[in-house]
């Protein structure tokens, strides 16, 4: 039987989301329309599982994206999106979590 992971409760942290929204877009540097963009793809190395079907990742997996890039992220395969910009979203998420 396939390994089925149970859906984990989403970790919500409004203060962290406000911090993320206060950062410039991690792709273009725009700081006028920043949104907290949650990663949907999973990573074995970072113990991040795929989310989908109306399920949102925990807030610790949110990154600052301007509205344009956030819409683009949702318009395509997320792995393609991040590779298009040559960025590792998991390393970026860890970077923001370590900021004071």
pLDDT in tens, 26-42: 999 999 999 999 988 75
Length of the chain counted residue by residue: 100
Q: Per the structure block, which two tokens stand in for 62?
A: 């949110």
pLDDT at 31: 94
Query: Cβ contacts of residue 13 below 8 Å, gap of 6+?
Result: 59, 60
Instruction: Quickly state the pLDDT bin for 18 (edges 50, 70, 90).
Output: very high
Direct distance between the N- and C-terminal alpha carbons of the chain, in angstroms, rounded to an integer: 44
Question: Is 82's pLDDT higher than 80?
Answer: yes
Per-residue pLDDT, 44: 42
**Cα–Cα nearest to 65, from 97, 18, 29:** 29
Which pTM does this prediction carry? 0.76
pLDDT band at 62 (very low <50, low <70, confident <90, very high): very high
30/58: higher pLDDT = 30
Residue 43 pLDDT:
45
pLDDT, position 32: 92
Alpha carbon dihedral 34, 36, 40, 41, in 10-degree steps, equals 70
């Amino acid at each position: 039987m396939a390994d089925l992971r149970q859906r984990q409760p989403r970790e919500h942290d409004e203060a962290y989301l406000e911090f993320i929204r206060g950062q410039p877009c991690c792709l273009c540097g725009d700081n006028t329309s920043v949104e907290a963009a949650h990663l949907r793809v999973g990573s074995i190395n970072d113990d991040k599982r795929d989310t989908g079907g109306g399920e949102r990742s925990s807030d610790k997996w949110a990154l600052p994206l301007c509205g344009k890039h956030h819409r683009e992220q949702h318009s395509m395969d997320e792995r393609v999106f991040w590779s298009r910009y040559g960025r590792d979203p998991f390393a970026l998420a860890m970077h923001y979590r370590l900021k004071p």
